[in-house]
Structure formats: C-alpha cells, structure tokens
Chains A and B, each alone.
Chain A
C-alpha cells in the first residue's frame, strides 16, 4: 500500500483529457447508419381539447414517419412518481408545449418544414397561470382542487406563542422560474430491434428513471430496455426527468420506423418545453422575543408545479424541510402546497425547493433584525441551531457544527465590519451605493426521510483481467466529478493507485441501479457503497490468501489477475442499509429528514448604480462545512459554479411568461452571467469529522445554490435601505421600488447607515 492519501488530493479528472481535447462523445456527436431525425409537434394552446390534426399542403407526407398516441404499445404516460403526464396528448392538452405528434425523416431541414405544416386544431378551455389563480379554483385543471400535494410540519404549540411575543414579524417572498441552461441541449438516440428491444443513448442524469419509463411505455420487460448515458454537457437537475420524455419519443419513432432515430432539441425548444425551477411564494409570520429570539412561527410555502405532478411533491418536501433555515424554532407550523397551472411542468433544479424557501427565510431574518433593532449578524447569532437542539422536524443535530464560528470566519474573510463602516460614510455621496449582506443556511444530503431506504441502491466493484479494478454504478458524470471521486474512494479503500481504478460508463446492461444522480447523494451515499463493495474485493482476495494484511498495488493486481484466472470473475456488491436508530414518520413529517446536513455562511458585497439601478456583485465569500473535502479542485468548482447560478437566480435570470409559454427562450434574451458579470467567488471550507459518508464526506452539489440570492438581496437592502423580496431583481424592479416609496426609502436608509 502506498502512503499518500488519494482521497483529499487533486487527482486529474477521469474523463478530463477527452474533454479538453474535444474527443468526449456527447449524444449529438453520435451517428448511426441509416439514422432518421425526430421532431415534436406541440399543442400551442395552454388548455383545450384536440379536435383535429391537419397536415398542410406542400409536404411529401408519405416520406415521414408519423407517431401519435395511438402508436404507443404500452401505457401512455411518462412513469415517474405518478403517471399523470402523458407521453403524447391524445384528447386533452394542459400546457402550450404539450407533445401531440412525432415526426421523423432523414433530412433535418425537411423535418423542420413539416413540423410547421402540421396544425393542431383545438377547442380552447380557460387556463390558469399563477399560484393565486390556481388557489382560486375558478378553473380546476388538475384533480379536484388543483393541488398536487400538501404537507404540514407541526412542532410544539404554535398557538400559544403569539401572546408572549414582543414582536410579530410578517413577510411575503417570491422566487421566479429559472432555466437550468446546461450548454448541451437535451437529446437522445433510440434504436429498436424486435429481438433486442429498445436501446437509447442520451444526455441524462438517471439511467434507471428512463429505463422504468420505457418499460411502462413500451410494455417491455427490463431486459428488453437498455439505457446508455453519453457524455452529458451539464444537467443541474434539468436532465433528471425530461430525458424520459425524449427517450420515449425517440423510442416510439424508432419502433414505428424500424430505424435509429436521433432527437436533439435546439436551444429554443429546450428552453420552452423542458422543466425549470418551480416559482414559489413563501409567507412568514414569526413571534420574536424582546431580545430577538424566535419563539415560534408559521410558514406557508407554495410552489407552482405546472401542468403535471412529476417531481413537485418531492421538491415541495425538500423546500418545506429547509424552510426554517439553520435556526432553532421552539415551535413552528409549516404548511407546504404544490399547485397546478397550465405551464409546462416545473422540475428539478439544483437545490430542489430549498433555494426558494431559504431565500424567504434569509430575507425574513433581515426583516426581523430591522424590526427588533439588531444587526443582521446578531439576529442570526441569537437563533442559530446548536448541536443537541432539534430542527423543525425534531431531528436532533448530532453533528458538531458551530455556526457562530462559521459566521465569525466568514465575517473576517469578507472584511464585513470594516466594509459596513466604510459604506455607511461613502453611501452619502456619489452615484453608487454599496452594501454587504449575509445568508446562513443548511442543505440536507441524500434523499429525504425514508427515500434512501426505498431506493435501496446497489453498487458493484469488479476485478478486470489486467488486474485493475472497475467501479459499476448508475451514478452519472455531468461535470461534478462523479467518476473521479468514486474512483478515488475505491482506490483509497483498496490502498491502490488512482490509475488502477476505472469506472464503467452508465449502461443499464452493465451497471446496477445505484439510484438517481441527484440530491447531493452521490459522494455521501453511493460513495459509501463503493467503499464497502471495494472492501469486499479485498476480503475475497485475503480469504483465499492471495494478498496479506499489507500489499503493494502491483501485488494486488497480480492477486486480482490470478483470482480471475482461476474463478472467472471477481465481483463484489454492496446495497444501502439505513444507519441504525434512524426514525422518520412520513405522515407527520417528523424525524431524521436527512442523514447529514452541510452548513454555510455566504457574504455578498454589491454596488448599485443609482443612475441605471443595475446591481453588480463586487465580492463573494462562500464558506461552508461539507465534512471532508475529497477533491479540493472539484469541490471549489462545485461551490463556485453553484454560487454563479445563484447570482443569476438573484439578478439576471428572468423567464418571461405569456399564457404559460416562455417568451424569451433564447440565450440572447434569457441572460445568464458571463465571465465579465461575476465577482471573484472566493471559496472556503471548514472540515469537521463526519461519520456518514465515504471518508467523512457529506453532500456538496446543491448547497451553493441556496445562499447567494438572499445574501445579495440583503446586501441590496443594506445599500439602498429599501427591502426587495422577489427575485429575480432587475434594474426596473429597483427603479419601481425606489420611486414608489420615497418616504419609506429615506427613513429606512437613515436606519440602514447605522
């Protein structure tokens, strides 16, 4: 065994060389012989009944493969948690991007013209587009009350706190839809053979989600459906569920035509039709003591799920559990509700509900601070959760997290106190206003509650004929470094070199179901299983005496080769088992919501131009505790990239809706941050020992999405003395806020310069 630790070092990314040389193969780089291109004809209206489909003149329709709902061999749905979303609308349409018809042709240009020549004539029904319209129930567009799911968390006796409160602080906070905007659009290739069944290759996060959806759609047994992940050019949650839809469409065209079919969306279709972050509304009503301690509160968290249930119930659940932030609530009642509208279904996006509810919590903390007359940092200090205390779901914090210490370090890294003092004097003159704001937050790693138990993930590790080791997981690489970190874990567990380990490309014919690549679970949960499976290999080789207690990498490889020579194969499997003593009540939403939390304090410094009201972030400190950092370069990359998306969420990225349809579905007018828009994002870690994940790691991927938006809006309030409670916050919104309430702005400004 060599002495250096592989875990914790910046080994080169496994697939890095292919990526920097342009050799990495994404789905659009793949061409199969005799391949057709596929395209989707969509509803165009938000809600109605399909009356007739017209095929316009001037098109040689005989050359086209045409698929409608009638061609579906199995059940017409995209099976996920429920099965309410059709693969192709047959009678009713419920949003303007609903797929109705599929076309395929060998010529892409002919295909585009043909799509335009189809007209779907519908009887139009009234439609609804906002949370409020959905709640009003003047139109019922889903179920009996437009509600996909409700949850309630109830802790302590909330009804008795109001009379004891020195202050009751109320606020309402909103967040908009956000497009994941991976640079590689969604795409799939499908091929069909009566003997082999369906094979799809594509850009995706969750091979076994696609696998399940295709089995149900095509009525095929598991072994007749094969899903292969190609190199995936960014996902961020946006390739969690929608790939099942595209795979389904490509598969139907392949079955009908008997030829391979490629469906790759262009940017406009991808932005308009695929999922986005759920728009949200959060209402807080909080009882606070004279000293600024939270006594209790009510939180109402509502998200717009779009036209079908898809993942909304789980997004709601995560948002709800994070709604109380990293604070101690003696009592609290949190209502959550996901409602239906006639927009395309909203879905997974990094953070999964938590960025929405934490935005509200962290803006609300600044509001409480203002009402009580304390500084934003002081109100947080007085309410931080401490080890031994219980979260809103009555989970006892066992991690030795010290949020006050984390806060102190972030304040010093950002030069917070000196800057506040300086801005107070500088803001009296000049054409810009500076401000600095904080957000403190937490993010639970892995599936919520009993989720990991239901998933019951499996991973494999096998010896190869050259003596190397190969990791078998369905966890996908899409930028985060899945392949690299899982190989590091296997190498560390076996005492081998990083170069001795390879990892299989996710292919359902070759890898077991290690669960979806979501929820910041890969390193913590799957990594731990890789560690156990690797140790299984070691035990096998020891049991037959091929290796001793210590060995060199070359001795191990020789042992591996000779075992395979004698027994044919060397494999070890590990399956998830819940840690002992975990309690979760799915009905009451009480118990251990997550096996571990990551914790963070982010500090944003902004400058507001008083002529144009544009906000720029000048400095950004991201300090977090994520357990042990397994790869320093990848970890910084996760945080900086997530923080950049959070800055976009706060200040740039606005989806313009018209009748349920995205109007600005282009990179030209949906603006994500460029390299010249972003501040230096300065990333720091605290590393505490943690027993949960592989080699002490917890989740990291989603955390950085939660903090930037509230930190930035808190900084804007500090700069301008005017509170803004909705994002995205564009210059026109600031203009409106500043001009609508001049008297209030001035009086708060005087207070803010304290």
Chain B
C-alpha cells in the first residue's frame, strides 16, 4: 500500500452506495472497506483477514463481487456499490436473507453479509444453480461455523422461490 501523506489528502471520490450518491473525502489508497465502515457508517462489511482470503468484506461493485479490503477507494470513482445494508429496500427481507434465517445459514453472523452478497452475485449470473455451482460460487467466502451445508440449502431455497415467483 502507498504510504499516506498530506499531499494525497482531501481527494474527493464520488460513487453510488445502495442507490444513494455519495461524495467522500479520502486518501486515494484508502481501502474501500474502511471508507464504507468508518466514513459512511456501513459496518455490515467486515474485516476478517485483510488480504482477500475470507470474503467477509465482500460488496457488489458495478455488479461484480469484490473484496472491499483489496479495493483502493479511488477505483470506486463513479461506481455503483451495493452493501448488505442496501440489499433489501425497506423492512422486507431479501429472499436470500429470509432463506439464510430459515435454513440456519447464519450462525455467528460475521461472514453472513459477505456470504449473502456472494450468493446474490451467484444468483444474478445463475438463477437456478446446481449444488456444484453453489459450492464453487461461494468458495471465496469462508464460514467457520456452518460447514456450509445450511448455507447451500438457503441459496437453493432462495433460488427456488425466485423461480416460483417469476413463473407465477
């Protein structure tokens, strides 16, 4: 990471988070994760490892799943970002959130925001994934509690519901 110095201070970065336009003052090399958590108060993204291994800081950036601990904020200029806070508008849960709740996909909850966003990303590419595709699609997000079994069930259940909803 570039050393932080006064010369780089005060650069403004503009992007959209959960549908809202934001302009933040940040060091260009500041991690997107820290900007979201500390400057925008969106603490749903978590730091698990700080090196892109665990996926608990996952957010969607222009529809792609990224580890926000590896994204310098200047790369987010003009981007559209979705965090766990913006997945479901209002009080209603997103189909994946509801399915995680019912199937036991969330235990301690620390990997859950990243895992749900990874699942949302998977379903956006493959609305009706096979078990193998779910296993592969979530393999960048580590969970130490569940052994993943109930997470797979949750993703399959959410996909099934979306299919039923779209066919009716």
Closest to B42 in A: A22
**With A13-B101, A181-B144 in contact, do A267 and B150 touch (Cβ < 8 Å)?**
no
From A17, A21, A643, contact of B85 by CB (8 A): A21
* Complex CA–CA separation, A87 to B47 (angstroms): 27
B88 touches A21 (CB 8 A): yes
A234, CB-defined interface residue at 8 Å: yes
Query: B residues 31-59 with Cβ under 8 Å of A?
Result: 37-38, 42-51, 53-54, 56
B53 touches A667 (CB 8 A): yes
A749, CB-defined interface residue at 8 Å: no
A520, CB-defined interface residue at 8 Å: no
A637 touches B93 (CB 8 A): no
B147 touches A674 (CB 8 A): no
**With A182-B108, A267-B49 in contact, do A681 and B149 touch (Cβ < 8 Å)?**
yes
B108 touches A233 (CB 8 A): yes
CB neighbours (8 Å) of A232 from chain B are: 108
**With A21-B88, A681-B149 in contact, do A480 and B107 touch (Cβ < 8 Å)?**
yes
Closest to A677 in B: B139
B51 touches A24 (CB 8 A): no
* Complex CA–CA separation, A26 to B111 (angstroms): 12
* Complex CA–CA separation, A640 to B153 (angstroms): 13
**Interface readout for B106-138 with A: 1 if CB under 8 Å, 0 if not?**
111111110010000000000000000011101
Closest to A267 in B: B49
B107 touches A667 (CB 8 A): no
* Complex CA–CA separation, A690 to B50 (angstroms): 46
- Nearest Cβ in chain A — how far from B141, in angstroms? 8
CB neighbours (8 Å) of A676 from chain B are: 135-136, 139
B104, CB-defined interface residue at 8 Å: yes
* Complex CA–CA separation, A183 to B107 (angstroms): 12
B84, CB-defined interface residue at 8 Å: yes
From A25, A183, A642, A645, contact of B48 by CB (8 A): A183
**With A12-B101, A479-B107 in contact, do A640 and B150 touch (Cβ < 8 Å)?**
yes
B145, CB-defined interface residue at 8 Å: yes
A645 touches B107 (CB 8 A): no
* Complex CA–CA separation, A424 to B76 (angstroms): 57
CB neighbours (8 Å) of B50 from chain A are: 266-267
From A233, A235, A643, contact of B109 by CB (8 A): A233
A418, CB-defined interface residue at 8 Å: no
B146 touches A233 (CB 8 A): no
From B4, B53, B110, B150, contact of A637 by CB (8 A): B150
Main secondary structure of the interface of A (DSSP, over half): loop
CB neighbours (8 Å) of A172 from chain B are: none
CB neighbours (8 Å) of B83 from chain A are: 22
- Nearest Cβ in chain A — how far from B30, in angstroms? 10
Query: A residues 357-375 with Cβ under 8 Å of B?
Result: none
* Complex CA–CA separation, A752 to B70 (angstroms): 50
Closest to A644 in B: B147
A126, CB-defined interface residue at 8 Å: no
CB neighbours (8 Å) of A25 from chain B are: 43
A672 touches B144 (CB 8 A): yes
Closest to B111 in A: A183
B102, CB-defined interface residue at 8 Å: yes
CB neighbours (8 Å) of A19 from chain B are: 106, 108-109, 112
A166, CB-defined interface residue at 8 Å: no
* Complex CA–CA separation, A681 to B152 (angstroms): 12
Interface size for B (C-beta < 8 A) is: 57
B148 touches A678 (CB 8 A): yes
A668, CB-defined interface residue at 8 Å: yes
A680, CB-defined interface residue at 8 Å: yes
* Complex CA–CA separation, A185 to B46 (angstroms): 10
**With A233-B110, A633-B103 in contact, do A672 and B142 touch (Cβ < 8 Å)?**
yes
**With A17-B101, A183-B108, A183-B110 in contact, do A234 and B49 touch (Cβ < 8 Å)?**
no
A731, CB-defined interface residue at 8 Å: no
- Nearest Cβ in chain A — how far from B3, in angstroms? 9
CB neighbours (8 Å) of B145 from chain A are: 234, 479, 637, 641
From B47, B51, B110, B116, contact of A234 by CB (8 A): B110
B97, CB-defined interface residue at 8 Å: yes
Chain A CB count within 10 A is highest, among B45, B56, B110, B136, for B110
A236, CB-defined interface residue at 8 Å: yes
Query: A residues 477-496 with Cβ under 8 Å of B?
Result: 478-481
B108 touches A20 (CB 8 A): no
- Nearest Cβ in chain A — how far from B66, in angstroms? 16
A54, CB-defined interface residue at 8 Å: no
Query: A residues 1-44 with Cβ under 8 Å of B?
Result: 10, 12-13, 15-26, 28-29, 31
CB neighbours (8 Å) of A185 from chain B are: 47-48
B151, CB-defined interface residue at 8 Å: yes
- Nearest Cβ in chain B — how far from A639, in angstroms? 8
**Interface readout for A234-274 with B: 1 if CB under 8 Å, 0 if not?**
11100000000000000000000000000000110000000
Closest to A668 in B: B53
CB neighbours (8 Å) of A23 from chain B are: 44, 85
Closest to A231 in B: B109
B100, CB-defined interface residue at 8 Å: yes
A666, CB-defined interface residue at 8 Å: yes
B104 touches A633 (CB 8 A): yes
B143, CB-defined interface residue at 8 Å: yes
CB neighbours (8 Å) of B116 from chain A are: 20
A20 touches B144 (CB 8 A): no
- Nearest Cβ in chain A — how far from B136, in angstroms? 6
- Nearest Cβ in chain A — how far from B96, in angstroms? 8
CB neighbours (8 Å) of B37 from chain A are: 29
A500, CB-defined interface residue at 8 Å: no
Chain A CB count within 10 A is highest, among B48, B54, B141, for B48
B109 touches A109 (CB 8 A): no
* Complex CA–CA separation, A185 to B56 (angstroms): 12
- Nearest Cβ in chain A — how far from B166, in angstroms? 22
Closest to A182 in B: B144
* Complex CA–CA separation, A69 to B142 (angstroms): 38
B109 touches A24 (CB 8 A): yes
- Nearest Cβ in chain A — how far from B138, in angstroms? 5
Residues of A within 8 A of B (CB): 10, 12-13, 15-26, 28-29, 31, 109, 180-185, 231-236, 266-267, 478-481, 633-634, 636-637, 640-645, 666-668, 672, 674-676, 678, 680-681, 683
A-B contact pairs, 30 of them (CB 8 A): A13-B101, A13-B104, A17-B93, A21-B44, A21-B84, A22-B44, A22-B85, A24-B109, A28-B46, A109-B4, A185-B47, A231-B109, A233-B108, A234-B110, A480-B107, A636-B104, A637-B104, A640-B147, A640-B150, A641-B144, A645-B144, A667-B48, A668-B51, A674-B142, A675-B134, A675-B139, A675-B141, A675-B143, A675-B148, A678-B147
**Beyond A633-B103, A645-B147, A672-B142: 17 further Cβ-contacts under 8 Å?**
A22-B43, A29-B37, A182-B110, A183-B54, A183-B108, A183-B111, A184-B108, A185-B47, A234-B107, A267-B50, A479-B108, A644-B146, A644-B147, A645-B144, A675-B138, A675-B148, A681-B149
| Ranked 6 nearest A-B pairs via Cβ | A22-B44, A233-B110, A19-B109, A644-B147, A479-B108, A22-B84
